[in-house]
Amino acid sequence: MTKVRTELAQSDALSHRIAYFIVRNLVTGFCLTWCRMKVEGRDNIPAEGIFILAPTHRSILDTPISSGVTRRRMRFMGADKWWSNKWFGKLLSMLGGFPVTRGSVDREALKRCISLLEGGEPLVLFPEGERKSGPIVQPLFEGATYIAAKTGAPIIPVGIGGSEKAMPKGAKFIHPKKLHVIIGAPITVPTVGTSKEQREAMRMVTGELHTELQRLFDLAQARSGN
C-alpha cells in the first residue's frame, strides 16, 4: 500500500466518521438557525458514486457549509498552515481534511484527491483556491477539471451567498447574516484522444465551470440579500 493510500485508510477509521457526522450536524444546525441558511438544488448531488463539489469561496464558513449540503461524508483540502498545530491538525484530519501547500503544484495533494475518488469518496475542491472577496468569481485553477478528467467524477458547481458577510476574513465571530446556497447541475470533462485534445477539453470545461459559478453566485447573493 502506498504512503498516500495508507494515510487515507487511517483517516477512514470509524471514529473519524463518527466525529465528522457529529461536528457536521452541529455546524449545519447552527447555520440553519443562526444564519437562516437555505439550500437549493440538492437533487443535483448524486445519491451514490463519486463527484467533486466545487463551491465559490468567500469565507472560512464555506467548508462546513459545503459539508452540510449532503448527508454523504465529504473530504476536503485545507491550507497546510492549519496543520502546523499538532492537535488541531489531528482534529482536521479526523473531520476529513488533508493539507495542501499553497502557491505550488502540490502533487501529493493531487494524488490524495485522486485516491479518495478512486476509493469512492466525494470531494470538496474550491476552484478559486484560497478565499477571495467581492462579487466576481476569480480565475479558476484547473485542479478540479484535471482530477475530474483522471477519475471520471462529475463536477458539481455551488454558489454560496452571504458567507462573506456572515464571517469575513479575520472575523472571530459568526454574524447572523442570511446564507443561501444554490447547487448547479453536474458538469463532466469529456475523454478525448490526444493529450493536447484532453488539455483543450479541460480548458473549455474550466471556462464553463467559471461561467456557471458566476451565475450561481449572483443568484445566491441576491437571495441572501447581499
Instruction: Determine the Cα–Cα distance for residues 218 and 216; give it in Å rounded to an integer.
Output: 5
Residue 52 DSSP symbol: E
> Which pLDDT score, from 0 to 100, does residue 158 have?
98
SS (H, E, C) 75-109: EEEEEHHHHCCHHHHHHHHHCCEEEECCCCCCHHH
> Which pLDDT score, from 0 to 100, does residue 174 have?
94
Contact 58, 164 (CB under 8 A): yes
> Which pLDDT score, from 0 to 100, does residue 49 have?
94
pTM of the entire predicted model: 0.89
> Which pLDDT score, from 0 to 100, does residue 1 have?
40
Mean pLDDT value across residues 76-100: 81
- CA contacts within 13 A on the Cβ side of 68: 25
Contact 137, 221 (CB under 8 A): no
Read off the pLDDT of residues 113-138 as tens digits, 9 standing for 90 and up. 999 999 999 999 999 988 999 999 99
Domains along the chain with CATH numbers: 3-224 (3.40.1130.10)
Read off the pLDDT of residues 33-77 as tens digits, 9 standing for 90 and up. 999 999 999 999 998 999 999 999 999 999 889 988 998 889 988
Grid coordinates standing for 84? Answer: 502546523
Instruction: Scan for cell 489531528, then name that residue.
Output: 90
